[in-house]
Amino acid sequence: MIHQSPLPKTIEIRWVPVGFLKPGSTGKASAILKNGLTELTVDEMHFDSQNEEGGAHIIHSPRLRTMVQKNTRILKNLGEGGLETPTLVYRKKNSAYL
């Protein structure tokens, strides 16, 4: 079960779903965007370790697909080594993202 972390209120954490590993990744990321923590919990609780694939539902929504594709492009542009998940991005005091 996924639980919210007891982090200080000054730390803001955001999940940014991306889709690139498998053919259904974008549809699963779209479902997570639509249904948030509920779908993320489904994804984790029904994880198929043999096929290394989450259990989120696949939904087909052009609007959500576009959002996931934008997130994936941002991830592609973040690093030198290509796409890797999970990725941690943080903002320094001067507002620069690392």
Q: Which domain holds residue 33?
A: 14-98
- pTM of the predicted model as reported, rounded to 2 decimal places: 0.78
pLDDT at 1 over 80: no
Residue 67 lies in a domain: yes
Residue 2 lies in a domain: no
Domain total of the chain: 1
Residue 20 lies in a domain: yes
Residue 4 lies in a domain: no
Residue 45 lies in a domain: yes
Smallest CA-to-CA distance from 17 within 97, 78, 87 is with 87
**pLDDT tens-digit profile of 38-95?**
999 999 999 999 999 999 999 999 999 999 999 999 888 876 666 777 887 777 777 7
Residue 25 lies in a domain: yes
- 39 vs 60: CA distance, rounded Å: 15
Residue 96 lies in a domain: yes
Residue 8 lies in a domain: no
